[in-house]
Amino acid sequence: MTTRDSTEYFLINGLTRHRKIFRPGDWAERLMGVIILYVGEHRPGIHIASTRLAIPVVDAGLKCLIVSGELRRVCPEAFDFIVRFAEDNDLPVDVRFATVDGAAGPSLASVG
């Protein structure tokens, strides 16, 4: 896999290393809001705050946040904030790659 056919992502898991569900329940949406403040991204026609650089998701029944590796290039300060937030709150961060493999479309592959 080359960098041309993959995109780096970071999955911040809402289950701490001590196996406790991270609270508050809307932490991923709040963190996405902080990223929006850093990057100042506004999307025409969309009336809610959102960004392609951070997407709240539910993975295996747990709230998570997918952060695009592009954030590191676009706004290093926001990326550093996110990494520190995860470390300070004992949230695991998995590095993943989104690949496009023809008909199958995009998929996330864990690195490990």
- With respect to residue 19, please indicate whether it lies within any of the assigned structural domains: yes
Q: What pLDDT, on a 0 to 100 scale, did the predictor assign at position 37?
A: 84
| In the predicted structure, residue 12 carries a pLDDT above the cut 80 | yes
Q: What is the mean pLDDT of residues 50-75?
A: 90
- Residue 74 within a domain: yes
Q: Give me 105's structure tokens.
A: 């479309």
pLDDT at 112: 37
What span, in angstroms and rounded, lies between the C-alpha atoms of 54 and 63?
A: 13
Total of domains in the chain: 1
Asked whether the whole model's pTM tops 0.85, one would answer: no
Which pLDDT band holds residue 101 (cuts at 50, 70, 90)? low
| Residue 35 CB neighbours (<10 A) | 23
Domain that holds residue 93: 6-110
Query: What are the tens digits of pLDDT across the range 26-54?
Result: 999 999 988 888 887 655 665 555 678 99
H-assigned helices in the chain: 27-39, 70-74, 76-88
CATH code of 24's domain: 3.30.70.2340
What type of residue sits at position 27?
A: W
Higher pLDDT, 107 or 62: 62
